[in-house]
Amino acid sequence: MGHARRLFLLAPLLGALASGCSRAGARSERGGTVVMGIMSDLEPGTDLDRLHVTMRAAGEIVREDTLSAGGEGPALRLPTELRFEDLPDSTAVDVSLEAIEGYGPILSRLASTRIVAGKTLLLRVWLQRECIPSYRLQAGVVSPTCSPPETCISAACKDPFVPPTELEEYAPSWATSFADACKPGGDAAPDVAIGQGETSYHPLSDGDAMIFEKGPQGGLHVWVAVGMRNLHQKGSITTISAYFPDLGTAFGDVEVGYGYDTAGDGSCVLHGLRYVISDDVSDFQKLVGTKLRLDVKVADITGAVGSDETVVTLTN
């Protein structure tokens, strides 16, 4: 958390990093291509300095390189493309990514699939903040540490292999124009609704009661939840700010890059966002019955933005 800053930088695509080749080195008339589309809510130069890339086709390394945000070596831009081009049908391809900040790795990601002859397919590969080991997801819950063959996807250890039948056709606009479970497409405007809840989403309207509680480090906090539609499920940045209108006290912005969960009705939700409203637990009785204004903004990776505000009454 901390002061406001944008966690995702939509930069021009870095072109093809590498081209795969068959073992014989000959190009096949029936070859196929897989483009690994690398996306992230981490900002090069701020959240990571370098990205070490290892690409394999049929188990053999076809490219190994380190992209740098500091000007040494190939430039690190996100999103970017890693291409396996013109390979025989059913060739296994995989990529291993290691994000580095300072002198050490902070995050690793694996992704793999198979070539389909005559097709150019896209596999989206996310480098997610919520997959940094020990990154706090909510009270008492931290991101997992995954060991190969598993990899971290959306804060859980999962199989890195994606069947080619589940991949989309590649399009040059893949990084800015695509649909997902929270943004199915079309021109519908973003819709954001503030809620509350540590483990689930409960909507809030002006005048509703919002529970606040004592935290483990001696402060007071509320659990903010957010519902939204027509913004991307992953890579969206959620910003929370608050203000006590009766006390004239404002709080700094808190930004998180967590992915949203589907709610089953076409909407998506994010819950368990701890927002500190006092560092002094002795303020507890003083704040009971106090009005609190909450402002939430969600900006997705294409630049679309939705927001909501509400004034609630604090209760225990």
Q: Is the pLDDT assigned to residue 10 strictly greater than 60? A: no
Q: Would 198 be classed as within a structural domain?
A: yes
Q: Would 100 be classed as within a structural domain?
A: yes
Would you tell me how many other CB atoms lie within 10 Å of the CB of residue 297? 19
> Confidence band (pLDDT; 50, 70, 90) for 125?
very high
- Among residues 194, 205, 222, the alpha carbon closest in space to that of 278 is found at 222
Final residue of a domain: which of 169, 202, 227? 169
Please tell me the least confidently modeled range out of 24-33, 149-158, 202-211, 255-264: 24-33
Q: Would 85 be classed as within a structural domain?
A: yes
Co-location of 131 and 207 in the same domain = no
Co-location of 162 and 60 in the same domain = yes
Peptide bond into 74 cis (omega under 30): no
Helix (H, G, I), strand (E, B) or coil at 165: helix
Cβ proximity of 192 and 295 under 8 Å? no
Kindly state the tokens that stand for 218.
Answer: 């001696």
Q: Would 6 be classed as within a structural domain?
A: no
Co-location of 156 and 256 in the same domain = no
- Total number of domains constituting the chain: 2
pLDDT at 216: 78
- State the Cα–Cα distance between residues 181 and 275, nearest whole angstrom: 27
Co-location of 45 and 103 in the same domain = yes
Residue in the structure block whose two tokens are 């509680």: 213
- State the Cα–Cα distance between residues 210 and 223, nearest whole angstrom: 9
Q: Would 259 be classed as within a structural domain?
A: yes
Would you tell me how many other CB atoms lie within 10 Å of the CB of residue 13? 17
Peptide bond into 79 cis (omega under 30): yes
Co-location of 45 and 163 in the same domain = yes
pLDDT at 225: 97
Q: Is the pLDDT assigned to residue 25 strictly greater than 70? A: no
Helix (H, G, I), strand (E, B) or coil at 299: strand
Helix (H, G, I), strand (E, B) or coil at 286: helix
pLDDT at 140: 58
Would you tell me how many other CB atoms lie within 10 Å of the CB of residue 129? 23
Structural domain including 236 reads 191-315
Co-location of 80 and 162 in the same domain = yes
Q: Would 13 be classed as within a structural domain?
A: no
Co-location of 48 and 165 in the same domain = yes
Co-location of 151 and 201 in the same domain = no
Would you tell me how many other CB atoms lie within 10 Å of the CB of residue 303? 8
Q: Would 183 be classed as within a structural domain?
A: no
Dihedral angle sign, alpha carbons of residues 13, 17, 21, 26:
positive
Q: Is the pLDDT assigned to residue 157 strictly greater than 60? A: yes
Backbone Cα Rg of the chain: 22
pLDDT at 29: 59
Co-location of 88 and 56 in the same domain = yes
CATH number, position 130: 2.60.40
Over the stretch 253-275, which tens digit does the pLDDT of each residue have? 988 888 899 998 889 999 999 99
pLDDT at 202: 96
Over the stretch 173-213, which tens digit does the pLDDT of each residue have? 998 888 888 998 777 999 999 999 999 999 999 999 999 99
What is the CA angle 198-248-287, rounded to 5?
45
Within 13 Å, how many C-alpha atoms sit on residue 33's CB side?
17
Co-location of 219 and 273 in the same domain = yes
Co-location of 144 and 210 in the same domain = no
Q: Would 224 be classed as within a structural domain?
A: yes
Residue 277 has φ and ψ, to the nearest 5°, of: -110, -10
Q: What is the pTM of this model?
A: 0.67
Co-location of 145 and 50 in the same domain = yes
CATH number, position 280: 2.60.40.10
Q: Is the pLDDT assigned to residue 304 strictly greater than 80? A: yes
> Confidence band (pLDDT; 50, 70, 90) for 301?
confident
